[in-house]
Structure 1
Amino acid sequence: MYAILDIETTGGKYNEEGITEIAIYKFDGHKVVDQFISLVNPEREIQPFVVNLTGINSNMLRTAPKFYEIAKRIVEITDDCILVAHNAQFDYRILRTEFKRLGFGFKRKTLCTVELAKKLIPGQDSYSLGKLARSLGIPVSDRHRANGDAVATVKLFKMLLSKDLEKFIVQDAIRVEPKYQMEPNLKQIINELPNETGVYYIHNENGDVIYIGKSKNIKSRISQHFTNTSPKSKKLQRQASTVTYEKTGSELVALLKESEEIKRIKPLFNRALRRSLFTHALYSFQDDQGYINLKIDKADGRKKPITTFSNRQSAKSFLFKVVDDFNLCQKLVGLYPTKKSCFNYNIDLCQGACIQEEHYEAYNSRVLALISKNSYDKQNMVVIDRGRDIEERSAILIENGIFKGLGYFDLNYQITNIEVLRTVITPMQNNRDAQHIIQSYIRRNKKLKIIQLN
């Protein structure tokens, strides 16, 4: 659990500042579960430059509560939380100074979004909250006011969590929270999970990831893991200390994240899934008469496929469908081995490419249309799918036929501006499994929105 906060102060000499406004959002890694926002009477003068910066003056604070009146609420909302702030060292020092004046030793673990952003989003011109938010397309209202800056920090932290492919933020949080050091209550773990699409991570008591999976219903899938009686499941149950998850909204995002993170993290119980996800591929070649032929074969990393399949049967099913959709010849796609005309020609469903009756240029144009539709080779595009909530969408970026990564956006500005889009996107590996996942998903989801980039 995280307490994301922002504090405005009076300014002045080091450790003599007072708080004028505070905003705290309790964040469980997915959503805000509690919040506290208040002006504070600092019982001291506000520096003129601070008044100009924040707009907060002494008249506004005359009837505001003093710090000792809100101290208990701050302790309660931050209990068992990691404090998160943009320049956390400053906010944490100010809080501890105020509590010290009351004779109370306030101590919390902290995370700084400036340092996290430098690690996870390198190369930015500036890491100030305003400029960083602007470069990421994060809207900020009431800049230099505690609530406006705290809301922007929540959105930034949510983006940083999704970019943290190594999961060091989450693993660190698990080590801090005392409930994860006890013997796990598997039923309680299940009850706290959502019935939503996403990727889940099963951790041991040290916070290490021991299994990664994806599901359209995370709670249901984890329940299966924890009630299964197979030897592997029983071993997993004995070692499981907690489950964290990442809602994706999109099944495509979940599939890509699962594939990438299993390969990177190599969890103990994911050995079988470290192998490739597909076995067969569709290839093309030109015969002596100039006709483009299609052929299903075992996937070969040395040859460039049009698209890939999990097994031979799914590849054959695909070919039967495209024969009808693109009016192709059964013989030239490898579904009807013969030296004469194909079966469809005999019932007037083939235009005769199998016996050179249809000119190869006319036939090839339809084959090329099929290839273009099912391969994103050399294309620049963004695949748009569901987001984690109703206002949000997910984006999968492909540049020059190369899968660059994925991310989330709320505003069209974030995907129409290519520089902002590249910043929002979390970079991922362009391996054959990722290509297979994207192509298969596009094949299965005909209504998927795809934006072609110039």
Structure 2
Amino acid sequence: MRKYAIVDVETTGGSSIDNKITEIAIYLSDGTQIIDSFHSLVDPGVPIPSYITSITGIDEETIHGAPSFSDISDEVISILKDSIFVAHNVNFDYHFVRQELKSSGYQWDSKKLCTVRYARKIFPGLQSYGLGKLSAHLGYTNKARHRAYGDASVTADILHLMISKDSLGIMEKLISHGSVHGYIPPNLDENEFKNLPEMPGVYYFHDGKGKALYVGKAKNIKKRVKSHFSTRSGKPELSFLNQIHHLDYDLCGNELISLLHENEKIKKLWPPFNRAQKFNSKVFSLVSYKDGSSYLRHGVAPGRKPNLLMTFNSLMESRNYLFGVAKEYSLCPKLLGLQKVKGKCSWVDSGECEGACVGEESFDEYNKRVEKWHSSITSSNSDFIIIGEGRNSDEKGFVVVMKNLYKGYGFAPTEVNIMEKWEEYIQPGIHDADVQRILNQFLNHNSSEYNFLPF
């Protein structure tokens, strides 16, 4: 006889790595009726966050005197043994139970069945497959919502109904151990994952209303998306995964365009799960001007300024760069804006500054070295096109930079002379500090996969 262990757990948070179980309920079924059950509150051994208490009603007082999970692990493994593990959003409950059993000394694994995914097959077209709305739609009352025994009980009712209506053997396909159903989010259509390309580009996770939850870039979109769903790749946030309803992607042809496109889309969509994104919106501009004595001076100011020389992500980045320039070209740190002092800079006495700050070096001699530095960053590499792979074998992708400013990227047929007709195919972009960083990293690690062509 096949047995189904319908399980629900309440926890201290969304990650099975960092959080613990506070309540567990298991109903053992033969597919038509409950034949055994187990329920227990659990002392997690860690504080219960207030937001969790507001959802479940479980607080420190509730679990006072409750056993630890290790105390009940023998009973849990006994009822789970040789059963199909069933839950609503099964990966959440499954990973928590497996982690707790592992901590208790049990190496346990099981075939799984997700009642969300099963319900999508048996009752297609519903607006929501959340446990509350699904049970209400089917006429079941849950007298203890967000408590393990209440949620597990109504899940068992729904399972029995679905089994009775399953004349096509849908369950057998869903139970198949190790299949794609074992790792993709329960609210995501498996075909959306299966149809992902194994090519470079940008991918999007959307919620049920179509809002972007997360934007990422990848050399291999399908492989990278799969890694988000795998517990073996780190700590997947199950609360995040359960919000994913749809996938989308843009092919970009090569990694450079993928990075630029990702930067653009994150700043346009501001997805909530990109909060830790390395990109930021600040930019600082390096500008040059002549003072009343004709010496070329420099300053760094927030925002994009007219006639800037280059941009930085932070003031610290600009200072580190300018100190290097001062050393390399024997320039005055005061005239570079690095020292705000009256009279001579601190480098005059050591001989590192020729004395331009106090008129001991003529502006002609000093400005020659400044202009040599300017030439190194604005001449040979100021106007160029980077050509790489396109989205298919019939096109090439390209990125245009003019006067050290990013103009955008595009895709053109392989037979087109991109140097002459790039304006017909370009998608205009916005130059900012993050684009500057992306381009700087590319130029410092130029790959043989790209052609670098100065105008």
Greater Rg over alpha carbons, structure: 2
TM normalised by structure 1 equals 0.45
TM normalised by structure 2 equals 0.45
